Structure 1
Amino acid sequence: MPAPLDTSSQAREPDPRLARSRARLIDAATELLAEGGVDAVTIDAVIRRAGVARATLYRHFGSGTELLAAAFQQLLPPVASAPEVGSLRSRLVALVCDQARLIDQAPLQLTVLSWMGMSNPEADRRTTEDDASRPHLTALRHRIIEQYRGPFDAILASEAARASLRPAIEATTAVAQFVGPMIFNRLVTGLPNDQQFCTVLVDDFLAANAARKTNEVMDVVDQNEQ
């Protein structure tokens, strides 16, 4: 009598058909996104382009928002590395100029930032349940934070930064101080995010966060006590 087949390993292996259908859905969503923007990525358009059933889409993605988040994540460029040579000021200027070019020359960046702002619950109301129920949106948010924050983390953790700047500068705050004005220029004022503007941002940041000598700090304390 032949030995029974061991199906335990087969049961543990993922169904390749699921991987293929998921890939087709993301490919369809990214194509529609590139062709017509966010409004073009509807459930009906995606399943028609991908050639899959609606139930298959919802097996992979809990909502159209989740599908869009997965598509955005696939389209985003890799996280850029921080400049490694030069003074603290020159490295920051080079990095901020790179971020400015990314914002000005890649419409996808502004699209995803605007879409994220409308899709995310307000920060003070967002819960771990929200994150757990929308894993693709959560992953996209972390990816965007890393894309902007990662290079600043590297520079602000350098010896030059520790020697020149006040302690405990939070990289996310620094990113907001640099990237916020550039996005405002791009969306509202129409002013150029050129090297001169980026240099002003860096110089203002360095001046506001410069390490203060002990005697200078004591002078401020004395003035406040008078």
Structure 2
Amino acid sequence: MDPVPSPRSDDRDSDPRKARSRARLLDAATTLLTSGGVPAVTVDAVTTLSKVARTTLYRHFDSTADLVAATFERLIPQVDPPPDTGTLRDRLVELLTRQAVLIEEAPMQLTTLAWLAMSDPEPKAGTPQHFTSLRDRVIEQYRQPFDQLLDTPEARTELGDFDLTMAMAQLIGPIVFAKLTGLRVGTRADCAHLVDDFLRARRG
């Protein structure tokens, strides 16, 4: 059976009935995702809870992965920008601490990272739009504050030339790994230690 083509986003927005059915599907998926994780978000479970027909679901979403991605997009909180004042070290410590708190207090953020990590990072033709936009949003959410702080003439003068992506991975990667593995919760002291190691390596 050929998949039902998805309507254009402007068609979805212009028809109140479609907007309502989409909202009910996302409400149901959100409830299932937050209570049971990604495996709980099945077509049968979502349609049963939302009381929206399967055919209607497929008019809005190409697949379960598309639905899950759209649901994650609803739940991802924003990351505050880095502080405007202070030394580079102090601002990095504050930024990293904020990220650690977000990962600790927003389980859905961690679930999103884990779900994306299991997926192919190179989108292929036909990859659902919501999935691609979710990956882009997560990357942007983490990158933007670090770019804002580190991709400046002042930081480059102090630290020399370096890869921003690797810098972000060096700083926040251990926090995410520790939380995913249950080793520990990232504290401000941990963040300060990571920042000091990063700065020492760059300045050395």
Match of 2:83 in 1: 83
Match of 1:171 in 2: 164
Whichever residue aligns with residue 187 of structure 2, its letter is: D
Indicate the SS of the match to 1:133.
Answer: coil
Contact 1:28/1:49 (CA < 8 Å) preserved in 2? yes
Of 150, 157, 181, 1:156 maps to 150
Of 127, 131, 151, 1:133 maps to 127
Match of 1:55 in 2: 55
Alignment of 1:1-226 (within 5 A): 14-118=14-118, 120-121=119-120, 123=121, 126-129=122-125, 132-167=126-161, 169-188=162-181, 190-210=183-203
Contact 2:79/2:99 (CA < 8 Å) preserved in 1? no
Q: C-alpha displacement at 1:27, in angstroms?
A: 1.3
Which whole-Å CA distance do the structure 1 matches of 2:166 and 2:131 have between them? 22
Aligned-residue CA RMSD (Å): 2.0
1:28-65 deviation per Cα after TM superposition (whole angstroms, max 9, x unaligned): 11122122222221111111122211011111111101
Q: C-alpha displacement at 1:154, in angstroms?
A: 0.5
Match of 1:4 in 2: none
Which whole-Å CA distance do the structure 2 matches of 1:95 and 1:64 have between them? 34
Which whole-Å CA distance do the structure 2 matches of 1:53 and 1:186 have between them? 38
TM-score normalised to structure 1 length: 0.78
Larger radius of gyration: 1
Which whole-Å CA distance do the structure 1 matches of 2:49 and 2:181 have between them? 36
Contact 1:25/1:46 (CA < 8 Å) preserved in 2? yes
Q: How many residues align?
A: 193
- 1:182/1:159 CA distance change after superposition, 3 Å: same
Indicate the SS of the match to 1:209.
Answer: helix
Percent identity over paired residues: 49
TM-score normalised to structure 2 length: 0.86
Contact 2:151/2:164 (CA < 8 Å) preserved in 1? no
**Structure 1 unaligned blocks of 5 or more:** 1-10, 213-226
Whichever residue aligns with residue 181 of structure 1, its letter is: P
Contact 1:80/1:147 (CA < 8 Å) preserved in 2? no
